[in-house]
Chain A
Amino acid sequence: MHRLIAAFLICLPVLMGLSVASGADAQTNVPPQASTVDTNPAVSKLDDILRRQEGLKTADDAVRATETGDPDNAMPSTGQLGTLGGASDADLWRAFRFGKADITTQARVPAATTLIQDGGMWWLDFRRGPLQTIAIYLLGGTLLALALFYLVRGRIPIEGEKTGRTLLRFQAFERFGHWMLASSFVLLGITGLISLFGRTVIIPALGHEAFSSVAIVCKWVHNNVSWAFMIALIFVFVIWVVHNIPDRTDLRWLAKGGGLLGGGHPPAKKFNAGQKLIFWAVILLGGSISLSGLSLLFPFEFNLFGHTFSWLNGLGAPGWFGFADLPYPLAPQEEMQYAQLWHALISVILTAIIFAHIYLGTIGMEGAFDAMGKGEVEEQWAREHHSIWAEEIAGPKTTASKEP
């Protein structure tokens, strides 16, 4: 036994020496790799990480987008610390992030191969931050301004003596088109605002479960009532576009501010300049909302923003205002995100305009609601607010009506 222990002790240094030599051989087989942490601009530094956490763009994204791995320069896969493939993990994640990786997925849907969508956080931050702030200030500010206007100006009365006679202002099919557009817009506005403010306002108030039911109903209503809005939009465009072509009468009307502030009633045809502005705002903004809405209804089917951004960049349009080029190309999700932001922003602007329209059509002006309510208006009202049209319909004023 003693002999055996002695032999082991004698051989131990030899065995240890062989082991060290073997390790040395293994190290010398691997080509020396210099650290690229400080020299490779694609490697994230602390400053980059902090900027990204603050939602700011990092300076070297363009370089990073190209640093997605070169299989020829990769560590040999046979080495002790070799890679499993041609690119390092960092290269692969960069390729995911910048859409350069060749990805095959189980899901056969258009955007399934985008595993990391870098622009998504910007969209999320903007949607729950500035977009909601803009909506609150714009809609709240408009309501406040209208309330102040009402306090200062009061309800605009029919100034002359009422005749007791009425003029047919809008036929039944015109009122039908108006009300289908209006009722669908109101529903879309309410459901859209609930969707926009759900996470920040309604979930804290009602809880997740209650909001879930509300959100499902709102989504169904918003998606399907949108068709009624689009049909009505086309309908009112067809029936009223002839009456809404701008002319010289509108310039005179606008020069006098429509008589809203200074009093008096500038001459107007069937639609005055203010109504024409409302009409074109509804058609153009409503049309834009419809297009972006269709893009959202059929996700990834037709993309509006990438092509538009490319075209604007080609013109140099962003540079006219001191901005850098607009992003192009866009990931499929980015297309949807820009469509959602545009859809919401233009909808909020149109809603603010419609607030003013509703105000003037109801409590803001005596006799105005009858035009869409009954279809017939007091002749004196027509002579005051649409004098040219009233004269075409009813002839020159009689002694019962008084032109201001």
Chain B
Amino acid sequence: MRLGDRLYYQMRRFRKHLAILGAVIGPGVIVMVADNDAGGFTTYMLSGAYYRYSFIWIVLLLGPVAYVCQEMTVRLGVMTKRGHAQAIFEAFGPFWGWFSLSDLTLTDCLTITTEFIGMTMAMEVFGIPPLFTEVVVISFIMLMLVNGRYWTWEKIVLAICAVNMIVVPVVFFIHPDVNDIFKTGVVPGFPEGLGGPVLFLIMATIGTTIAPWMIFFQQSSVVDKGLKKRDVPYARMDTAFGSAFTVVTAIALIIVATVFFGGDANLQSAGEAAKLLMPLHPYVGIILAIGLFDAGLIGALSVSLASSWAVGEVFGWSHSLNDRLGQAKWFNLFRLSIMVIAGTIVLIPGAPLGTITLFVQVIAVTLLPAALVFLIVLLNQEELVGAYKNTRAQNIMAGTVVGIILTLSTAYGVGTIFPKLFGG
């Protein structure tokens, strides 16, 4: 075959692969970008403000770790056509099923509360009252389902995901010290050792990168989208792209926080950072507020779906995004309820919002090890996943990741309960 012909066929093949990737892309990018939710924004801003660029290498490491965990949900979802909650019920029985479902629902409801805290704080920068923000957000999330098509929902969410990266261009205008970034950020090391708040912030970073709801969300999403075996390589790419986007945005947030607040250990949240920047650097403040609102919105959208899908699967309700609002009334009512409960908690005067934010992590810690262990056990069942069973290398990799996460997240949970244990 002539070189020209060969190039022509290669080009056609490439375009075909690109078209399939375009169709498959969605669950992986959404779940990974939703990882940079309002809580994630605050965690990265605080790590930059407290310890400058020192956390960049941790974020770089966590990207592939999140990929390893999420890729397994793709294979399990495609092969079993079951969400993670239903798969747990079927494989391990009612005890573990109810434990996972109730823990997930409680964690999700509290996580959505933190998303609303972030969104209302971001909109307060523009003088918009919290109640108005919440009503508009909940109405928007529910109206996205009126059309009753998964594809429409996914495209809207992907557009919202693109806004999550709004902070990235800011890095090019604020002239950070690139040498310093490579010297103190990319080379592994712990600022001031591992004592005090450093360990706490490392664990918070891990907690925000790998969360239980992500496992449930992506597996249900893959099932609802109807991905098939042949789509698995593209779904893997989708997850890898999402992981890369998350890492880039997280690093951008750390850089922005370092440039404007580096060494300031008094910063409390991303919302406060946006407010503080408004008088001095209004454009950066506005961008940060928009980014924080967007992060909270993607978080609320995805987290509320994770538990609604899980409860819908187990109770046998219609739970597809392809169903119209009225067709899947219990599924939508459940989703609306957890958002209204979360929104109401934020509006209660004097509500212990700080305690809630910490409590989320503790409850999540109880679910994360179980969810990850179940994932590995299920992916070793040949009768369930056939040729997509974990290989020995995948088991070693996933087992190592689970071991590290288990140790650190347990330490985080224990550290939250007993703050003095790690010198905090």
Whether both chains belong to one complex is answered with: no
Measuring CB to CB, which residues of chain A are less than 8 angstroms from any residue of chain B?
Answer: none
